[in-house]
Structure 1
Amino acid sequence: MSGGGANGSDSKVETISRLAQWKIESFGPCSYRRSDAFKLGIWNWFLSVEKNRYMYIRLFPEPCRISKEQPPMARFVLRVSNPGPGRRPYISPVHERLLRTSDDFVWPIDSTFHGRFIIDVEFLDLKISPLNGGDPYSIWPNESMMQSLASKSTLRCLSRMLEEGIHSDVTINTSNGVLKAHKAVLSASSPVFESMFLHDLKEKESSIIDIEDMSLESCSALLNYIYGTIKQDEFWKHRLSLLGAANKYDIADLKECCEESLLEDINSSNVLERLHEAWLYQLSKLKKGCMMYLFDFGKIYDVRDEINSFFRHADRELMLEMFQEVLTVWKPV
């Protein structure tokens, strides 16, 4: 709460939650009064009132670096009332304004308020603009913030479940080690896993999944993705193994994520491998990217030593597509 100031004891503004209240004890027919600064949100504020023919009420932030660089977008309602019985208050419409100076908001009231009266300001919302640009966002918890907090809390719980093996109920055998996981989480992430535990298959009976085409490390990366705890470097290191697992277990979002990542760093040393992966897993965007790299950009000459080996093992339909791409790029003008 704010203290007294140069205008006397009645310059103090009391605040609670999102409400600010200024009790003015004495106000003449031709007067000007400004409140002490009061804190609400991340800004200091002032109220001022001026009486001439009309009463003019202003609300503005204290001039400072933050109000200059990140001025508040305020949505608020004002209420002016006498403390005595029987006097109807003046209530403003809902205002929404970007407030920088005392000229940005003025509310005129045609009234005979004098002597003692009260000004209430109820802030319905306060938004701030990011320093690097973008849309203003509320400084108070809103739906998106609650969703973000809930998501973080869920990820923390899932991380603990995986790392500490809390109530784990399925064992995964990899090519070089064993991992523990949870049937419910695996089933929610993959229709293939869900089918294992839904129907009378050996995995349902034994609570054991054999994933022997993945190493312990790469399968751990798969679980970290499913549980939402994977790190960027871990994903980058194991993305080819993750792509195979995403295709095998029908994890569509992981498959798409791997394809986008593999598109980002095509070069002469990996383009043929990427093209094979794109054909094997039916990744149209990755296949197109590899074809463009080889033929539109002429990098086929950089891999001529490897191309013979590639053709010996490549699918005939893929070889036909590559031949058709050559004819398209090098057709006579």
Structure 2
Amino acid sequence: MGTKGLNACETCSRYKGNLFCSVCVRSAVSKNVTALRFLREYESSPLNKDFRGDIKFVGWDGEEVHAHKFIMVGRSMVFRSLFDSDMQEKEKGIVLCPDTSAPVLRSMVNFCYTAEIKFTEEAPAEEVLKIAHKYDMKNLKLVCENSLIMGISEKNVYELVMLAQKYDAKQLDKAIAKFFKDGFDVVYPIFVQRLCSDL
């Protein structure tokens, strides 16, 4: 932790911004908890229809999902590039996402604010994984992969293999390999049958 923005004691101030005493550490933690609480309550929730920010995402359904640039930039280098360059996203404050829907975008934005997500029928983990990969949002991608790992079965293993390959989902890939190994006699024939039907 650093002393930036804190009234650090003399000892902590001497060590290039590192905190050593418990008083300064508690002060830094308290400040960060307060900031997090502010973000969770700021302008209600991104899932709320009345929520407004300085940028908006527009999915294939035309519905707008609002957010704040500084939050999105902090979660994705792709967004940082979009909003720091002379691209139309910076000029207009609009990010067009023709490959996804508003519920998926809303889930992504909500995760950026709260680090929480609830996958639904309208915003399943598979769809959120796609957008997390597209915008290089590693934490969100990992949450999606973990959710998909919990649901691996003989019925969906083929689709999940394709998903893991397409979106470079390494954790999901590892879990599928283990699932395959543990249930090879059952999974292999199903997988081959699906593979042949796609040819």
Q: TM-score of the superposition, structure 2-length normalised? A: 0.72
Tell which deviates more after alignment, 174-183 or 193-202. Answer: 174-183
- Structure 2 residue 195 is matched with structure 1 residue 307: yes
What residue ranges of structure 2 are gaps of 5+ in the alignment? 1-25
Q: Deviations along 1:254-308, whole A, 9 cap, x unmatched?
A: 1111112211120011101111111112223322322332344222234443231
Question: What pairs with 1:119-268 in structure 2 (closer than 5 Å)?
Answer: 146=30, 147-148=32-33, 150-157=35-42, 159-160=44-45, 163=48, 164-166=50-52, 168-176=53-61, 177-228=63-114, 230-234=116-120, 237-268=123-154
Q: C-alpha separation between the residues in 2 aligned to 1:205 and 1:257?
A: 32
Tell me: CA distance 1:271–1:179, structure 2 relative to 1, closer, same or farther (3 Å). same
Q: Deviations along 1:81-120, whole A, 9 cap, x unmatched?
A: xxxxxxxxxxxxxxxxxxxxxxxxxxxxxxxxxxxxxxxx
Tell me: CA distance 1:268–1:174, structure 2 relative to 1, closer, same or farther (3 Å). same
* 2:22 corresponding residue in structure 1: none
* 1:127 corresponding residue in structure 2: none
How many residue pairs end up in the alignment? 169
- Structure number with higher relative contact order (C-alpha < 8 Å, ≥ 6 residues apart): 2
**RMSD, aligned α-carbons:** 2.7
* 2:171 corresponding residue in structure 1: 285
Q: C-alpha separation between the residues in 1 aligned to 2:44 and 2:86?
A: 30
Q: C-alpha separation between the residues in 2 aligned to 1:265 and 1:306?
A: 19
Question: Is the contact between residue 43 and residue 51 of structure 2 (CA under 8 Å) also seen in structure 1?
Answer: no
- Match of 2:124, SS? helix
- Match of 1:290, SS? helix
- AA of the residue aligned to 1:270: N
What residue ranges of structure 1 are gaps of 5+ in the alignment? 1-141, 313-333
* Larger CA Rg, structure 1 vs 2: 1
Higher helix fraction (1 or 2): 2
Tell me: CA distance 1:198–1:233, structure 2 relative to 1, closer, same or farther (3 Å). closer
- Structure 2 residue 155 is matched with structure 1 residue 269: yes
Q: C-alpha separation between the residues in 2 aligned to 1:301 and 1:236?
A: 32
